[in-house]
Amino acid sequence: MKTVKRWLTWLTDPSYWLLKIGGVVFLTLLTLGITYQAVSYLRLRDDPRNQAFWQWAVGDPALRDDLVTVQRSRCPGAPFILPADGFVGLLYEDPRGPYSSRSPHQGIDIFSNTEPGITPVYAAYDGYITREDGWRSALIMRIPEDPQDPERQIWLYYTHMADQSGYSFIVDAFPPGTQELFVKQGTLLGYTGNYNGNSPRGVWVHLHFSIVKDDGHGRYTNELQFENTLDPSPYLGMAVNYRCEQVTIGCTEAPLCP
């Protein structure tokens, strides 16, 4: 008690009081900052999915292989195939990484255990391919009848199929300006890459895959907005929603997650 009193007297002593208050505020902020970092670290350490992420980041190809999902045929009862082999590391509705709970991930990221331009990307379903002028790394595919709701049309968006400099890995059959070219499920579309537009943020080699809603007039909506997208889980027969808390991704029986 005496020490506190003496300390308070020192603090409120008019000489250098501004400097002292400043110091106390600085130390308080520093302590709060360190505590926040420690709590984040512990949360990171305890979520097995973050451990998997860490395992991937460390970069040992053998360790990475344990995380890779290879599912080249449709899961039982599901209409789509997984469009690429890889570590399904960022899930639908995922608040981690560059995303947040207010603006979660709009699709799934399938990370490749290869260099850019090696891992093939296949059409997840039958549909009509469009590649707008200027699209270096992306394709969008129109599906006239949503297999989960035949009354509506949906779109499948595939992106990051170029290297960092923007060199495209999309196959020659789909040059920029391609409109409504019909392809069957399993058709080779291109290869995964690490293109991230003009953003200075580097990304790992991956495919971003999402299901985008139609605007009701035959056009696709903005795929960057979460509300414009659908959960791919029932289409793939895999629990790829962040809320499912699945660590390794594979075919899952319905219900996909509690």
Judged by the rule CB under 5 A, the positions of this chain that interact with Zn ion are: 109, 208
* Closest CB to Zn ion among residues 170, 207: 207
Contact status, residue 69 vs residue 249, Cβ threshold 8 Å: yes
* Closest CB to Zn ion among residues 85, 109: 109
Quote the least distance from Cβ 225 to Zn ion, whole Å: 13
The angle formed by the CA atoms of residues 30, 45 and 231, to the nearest 5 degrees, is 110
* Closest CB to Zn ion among residues 12, 225: 225
Integer-rounded Cα Rg, in Å, for the chain is 24
Quote the least distance from Cβ 210 to Zn ion, whole Å: 7
* Closest CB to Zn ion among residues 20, 243: 243
Quote the least distance from Cβ 159 to Zn ion, whole Å: 8
Phi first, then psi: give them for residue 184, nearest 5 degrees. Answer: -85, 155
Tokens linked to 220: 């696709």
Nearest residue to Zn ion, by Cβ distance, number only: 208
CA dihedral 142, 177, 114, 120 (to 10 degrees): 50
Quote the least distance from Cβ 81 to Zn ion, whole Å: 19
Tokens linked to 37: 């970092």
Tokens linked to 94: 């995922």
Phi first, then psi: give them for residue 169, nearest 5 degrees. Answer: -110, 15
Quote the least distance from Cβ 157 to Zn ion, whole Å: 10
Quote the least distance from Cβ 16 to Zn ion, whole Å: 53
* Closest CB to Zn ion among residues 99, 181: 99
Q: What string of DSSP letters covers 83-110?
A: SS-BEEEE-BT--STT--SSS--SSEEE
Q: What is the Cα–Cα distance from 137 to 57, expressed in whole angstroms?
A: 23
ω into 175 cis (within 30 of 0):
no
* Closest CB to Zn ion among residues 96, 208: 208
